[in-house]
Chain A
């Protein structure tokens, strides 16, 4: 379980997130929705211990991400925003590097699940955007983490690739808790079972995803004016 209690983060005078609280349950796919600069990426980085909160408390399966960073990172797979990768590496080298860092022997099965088998010997810089995204996703999945945190996993992809990544997330969700950020409303409708809307650093909605078609958009417009 990931628990955030009244967490705030400031960059100098600028407020990034303010007094946000939520708790995850196993098997949830949480769509983290908000406009650009709302605080989605900051919240994700706080959960990972990449940023230190100014106020509040965070726990990942009982561990504080700052005091027990390594323990937390062993349980969390992360796909950062814009998917930074070592472009000079071959796909298999990169996945092997990630697997070794996570002290996990096998990356081949994950590569197969994500559909990377045909490009394993290619350099990452030579891959299409869709395949690069799959490499990032495979890296997050290696080690079979309990939690997956995906920052805009379908950003910049064409509709067919977006659909494939969404299907993959749904397939994975049976065994994991997934938090994914997006500002694409249809994505939340298609994938999430819980919705958190964040605006100007504050959570303005946290609840079940409305099931009716177009309801997410209505809710979003209502909460984010």
Chain B
């Protein structure tokens, strides 16, 4: 698994595309927040964290869309599957590489909380919990994109299907869905939305149910990816 993780990381870190995606993410996240901070005059980081799921909607599928579909298109999946490592090792190796890149991308956004820490009073534990939420949310989207990436040889298809499902799941947890869904259904469905659980973290609440939700989400999609990889048809 370590071997695969190293291979994937070196692909992203030796490739301008990897840097471009990560840097664009950091630049846009910072810009969008800084643009508003002077308008609102508030030093709260909540608006910044509330933007994150919508950035992830594009950033995570862009980062992870190639992870299996490129292997399928170039037939290198046959190389991987005829080497003596298990399907679970392949999936975990790739997942942890993306997991690390997500961590790296989030580190690049730390300039904001660090600046605010010195300029205004921000409550550090709240920020840390929100960052944990971002990491969990990003990991969930990574696992989902990996699953769609294994379904197709076409990276664009992997990107679009993942982004579409992420958008749908996010919308379920917002007030917008209340405008077209009956209240009881919206209350029920919103529990399945990553946005609903993410809000707890942004408020600085470390709710174990939400942690469990994200961990289960990741497990489910990684499991489905392994099952797909194990198919020998």
A contact residues vs B (CB 8 Å cutoff): 11, 45, 48-52, 66, 69-70, 73-74, 76, 78, 80, 82, 84-89, 93, 97-98, 100-103, 139
Q: Report whether B76 and A70 are in contact in the complex, using a CB–CB cutoff of 8 Å.
A: no
Subset of 22 A-B contacts with CB under 8 Å? A45-B78, A49-B232, A50-B81, A52-B232, A66-B232, A69-B86, A73-B84, A80-B78, A80-B79, A82-B75, A84-B74, A86-B76, A88-B14, A88-B15, A97-B3, A97-B6, A101-B4, A101-B83, A101-B85, A102-B83, A102-B84, A139-B79
Smallest CB separation, B102 vs chain A (Å): 22
- Determine if B82 is an interface residue (Cβ-Cβ < 8 Å): yes
Q: Report whether A70 and B82 are in contact in the complex, using a CB–CB cutoff of 8 Å.
A: no
Q: Which residues in B have their C-beta under 8 angstroms from that of A98?
A: 83
Q: Report whether A50 and B85 are in contact in the complex, using a CB–CB cutoff of 8 Å.
A: no
Name B1-57 residues within 8 Å CB distance of A.
3-4, 6-7, 10-11, 14-15
In the assembled complex, the Cα of A103 lies from the Cα of B85 at a distance in Å of 10
Residue of B at shortest CB range from A76?
B82
Q: How many A-B residue pairs have CB under 8 A?
A: 59
Q: Which residues in B have their C-beta under 8 angstroms from that of A103?
A: 84
In the assembled complex, the Cα of A84 lies from the Cα of B79 at a distance in Å of 7
Name B69-92 residues within 8 Å CB distance of A.
74-76, 78-79, 81-86
Known: A73-B83, A93-B10. 4 other contacts (CB 8 A): A49-B232, A51-B232, A69-B86, A82-B75
Q: Which residues in B have their C-beta under 8 angstroms from that of A102?
A: 83-84
In the assembled complex, the Cα of A86 lies from the Cα of B74 at a distance in Å of 9
Q: Report whether A85 and B79 are in contact in the complex, using a CB–CB cutoff of 8 Å.
A: yes
- Determine if B175 is an interface residue (Cβ-Cβ < 8 Å): no
Q: Report whether A101 and B84 are in contact in the complex, using a CB–CB cutoff of 8 Å.
A: yes
Smallest CB separation, A67 vs chain B (Å): 12
Q: Report whether B81 and A101 are in contact in the complex, using a CB–CB cutoff of 8 Å.
A: no
Residue of A at shortest CB range from B11?
A88
Q: Report whether B7 and A97 are in contact in the complex, using a CB–CB cutoff of 8 Å.
A: yes
Q: Report whether A74 and B84 are in contact in the complex, using a CB–CB cutoff of 8 Å.
A: yes
In the assembled complex, the Cα of A54 lies from the Cα of B31 at a distance in Å of 57
Q: Which residues in A have their C-beta under 8 angstroms from that of B84?
A: 70, 73-74, 101-103
Q: Report whether B10 and A50 are in contact in the complex, using a CB–CB cutoff of 8 Å.
A: no
Residue of A at shortest CB range from B87?
A69
In the assembled complex, the Cα of A73 lies from the Cα of B85 at a distance in Å of 9
Q: Which residues in A have their C-beta under 8 angstroms from that of B3?
A: 97, 100-101
Q: Which residues in B have their C-beta under 8 angstroms from that of A139?
A: 79
